[in-house]
Structure 1
Amino acid sequence: MQKSRRTARLTRIAVAVAAMSTVAVLAGCSSAPADGAAGTPGASGKKFVIGFEQPLGGQAWREMGLASLQALANSPEYKDKVELKIVRTNDNDAAQQNAAMQNLIADGVDLILFDPASSSGANAAIAQASAQGIPVIANGGPYDGSDVYVVSTDWAKAGTTGADWLVKNLGANKNVAVLEGLAGVPLNEGSMPGVIDDLKAGGANVVAQDTNGWNEATAQQAMSNILQSNPDVGGVYSFLTGGQGVPEAFKAAGIPFVPVVGGSGYNGEACELVKYGPEGLKGDMVFGQPAIYAKGLEQAVKLLEGGTIDKTQLFPPLEINNDNAATFCLPDKPANFQLGYDFPGLNIQLSDVLTYYSGN
């Protein structure tokens, strides 16, 4: 059986698409054979070969997710079980992601984890993997497809949790500014309609809309532009970013703080609430743990070991508010240091994560 599996994998390599320009990072170094043949982990030096495709590098959230993933892969529980192949592509390009996943199949991986660049752009690779008995897990965001497992934050809930908080904390002024995240990305497109519906249902009047680009500097500039024409907004909803940039825009404009929803999970969001809370800043920062990637790895190993996992697993977001901000704020870390490096039940230590974290 091992021989036929090896032959099948060599055949896949022969027919694979031309290798694209990506960077592969290996974690959990292995003495596994080059064909990556799976078997009982730890037996004869063999490990499960698990690929992870990352379509948008450079963001602190994703960099922390990859660091948490690698920390778990190299932990005592997993280091003898897993060889991890991380492949990066650029610009959230679905075609690049699809090709990279096909290359992972050609490399002979036992399972593919991927953070979806779109809701359907990897269908060709997924069909190929399914035909060859290789499980695929969408890890970090949603994906449409019966052949795909999903291990993700419940991003729709992340959106409406903040919206519900905002309408409850608005004063007499119901005028609200909304900053969406990154247009076209599935979690943004799947969440924002529900956010707008919840805000309006709660009595909010959406008077201005823009994008934060999932970047605090962009959020600050967008909010500054809005305040020039709408200085009397009574609240701000900014999807998955803005907990630093939005309050700084109010501060720079000399306008009193209003309730703010953000959610990048940056250290600066927590510290901003600690800093400006005494001056009247009230906020709710709702975000998904980057360590959802590590949760995906845990579920991948369980599946490869013959266990069963739920087809779709959606986990609630974290919230940082005025009540717990001091607990999350790390004064010795920069503002854009990403929080959420651990995940319930995995016990990932910050000191281990920092070995792999390439952010600030």
Structure 2
Amino acid sequence: MKRTTRAVAAVFGAAALALASACSNPNAEAGASSTSSASSTVSADQQLRVGFFGFAKANSFAQAAWAGVQEAAQENNATAEFVDSNFDGAVQVQQLTDAVTSKRFDVVVIQANDGTAITQPVKQALAAGITVVVEFTPIGGRFDTIEPQVDGVISIVDAPTANGQGLAKLGLDACKQLGKQPCQVAYLQGFDNYPLDAARTEAAVAALKAGGADVVATPIGGYTPDSGRTAMQNVLQANPGVNVVIGSSQAIEGASALTEGRTDILYVGNGGSTQAYAGVMDGTWYGTYVIPEKTDGKTATELGLKKHRGEDVPVATNSADLTPFKALGTKETLAGLTAEYSD
């Protein structure tokens, strides 16, 4: 999704994936808000080098973005390389610093494991003439905005607070479908010591409580089926009457397996994987928060390459706007659609 700087995958689930929507989510911001001049002017026939600083090569969510990065590079006369930090923010900071020193890339697309720690090397990259695209995770100290927090970067992100609010909306709608009032909700956090997760959890829990839900548990659910299963075991032991469970798509896969066949519990995932889509469509899950991560990675790379070649591009794009249903995936909104990756 692991130390203080490890991310969510899926995320995203949440967590997860994360999750920056500009519509159905109540506090989301408008996407594609403004334009930015290019950092340099490069002819179209000059091949450019793209570095993708993803969460981890082993992570399905990062792999989905990487597929989009590769596709965009191939279509736009560029090469692409995955720089794997394996969910370690300090490692990622050093990797970017080294890449700037060696002038290894013309464009970098960053899924930040630690959006605060990596701010300084991002500034160094910009000063060195490298075009920087912030993808999915905000870089800077704020988690409630899609706007760039470092002058000069391109931002295509899912604001964690909007993600949390979106998950809460799906959870409250699930409560309505069950007809439970008050409704007992368990929220499975990604990691309790990860800033992005903390912001998402706070936003989700606040919105759930404001909507009248009884939040009975907020255990660490992580970003694997095993960690989700463990968290759910603890939830059921302490709160056997829980009605709705929310967490990363990976965690919910494990949690829902424990209650297979039961119709008195509904699940909400954070992530748009094949497994999440299947859970929603078979009715086990009420919904899932979807960022089309391959499309997100491809769009981020296309914008970076265009800017480096002298074109004006949007500086702020809301990842949730890349879905026709504004990230809130339900049986109705996902009907006929296909997920962009598998967990």
CA distance in structure 1 between the partners assigned to 2:79 and 2:280 by the alignment: 41
TM-score, normalising length: structure 1? 0.71
- 1:355 aligns with none
- 1:289 aligns with 292
The amino acid that maps onto 1:272 is G
Structure 1 residues 1-360: aligned runs within 5 Å: 39-42=42-45, 46-75=46-75, 78=76, 81-90=77-86, 92-105=87-100, 106-144=102-140, 145-147=149-151, 148-170=153-175, 171-251=180-260, 255-275=262-282, 277=283, 281-291=284-294, 292-316=296-320, 318-324=327-333, 327-328=336-337, 339-340=339-340
Aligned-pair identity (%): 20
Q: Deviations over 1:279-300 (max 9, x none)?
A: xx35111121212111110110
CA distance in structure 2 between the partners assigned to 1:38 and 1:48 by the alignment: 12
Q: Check conservation: 2:41, 2:308, Cα contact below 8 A.
A: no
Distance 1:135 1:184, change over 3 A: farther
What SS does the corresponding residue of 2:206 show, helix, strand or coil?
helix
The amino acid that maps onto 2:60 is A
What SS does the corresponding residue of 2:313 show, helix, strand or coil?
coil
The one of the two structures with greater contact order (alpha-carbon pairs below 8 A, sep at least 6) is 2
Distance 1:130 1:73, change over 3 A: closer
Gaps of 5+ in 1: 1-36, 330-338, 342-358
Distance 1:225 1:125, change over 3 A: same
What SS does the corresponding residue of 2:188 show, helix, strand or coil?
strand
Distance 1:216 1:320, change over 3 A: farther
Q: For the pair shown, which has the larger CA radius of gyration, 1 or 2? A: 1
What SS does the corresponding residue of 2:63 show, helix, strand or coil?
helix
- RMSD, aligned CA: 2.5
Give the CA deviation at 1:243.
Answer: 4.0
Q: Check conservation: 1:38, 1:47, Cα contact below 8 A.
A: no
CA distance in structure 1 between the partners assigned to 2:310 and 2:208 by the alignment: 45
CA distance in structure 2 between the partners assigned to 1:146 and 1:209 by the alignment: 33
Give the CA deviation at 1:142.
Answer: 0.7
CA distance in structure 1 between the partners assigned to 2:111 and 2:182 by the alignment: 39
CA distance in structure 2 between the partners assigned to 1:184 and 1:302 by the alignment: 37
TM-score, normalising length: structure 2? 0.75
CA distance in structure 1 between the partners assigned to 2:198 and 2:154 by the alignment: 20
Give the CA deviation at 1:273.
Answer: 3.4
CA distance in structure 2 between the partners assigned to 1:111 and 1:38 by the alignment: 13
CA distance in structure 1 between the partners assigned to 2:59 and 2:104 by the alignment: 29
Gaps of 5+ in 2: 1-39, 141-148, 321-325
Q: Deviations over 1:167-204 (max 9, x none)?
A: 23311242111101233444323322110110000011
CA distance in structure 1 between the partners assigned to 2:256 and 2:241 by the alignment: 14
- 2:28 aligns with none
Q: Check conservation: 2:112, 2:138, Cα contact below 8 A.
A: yes
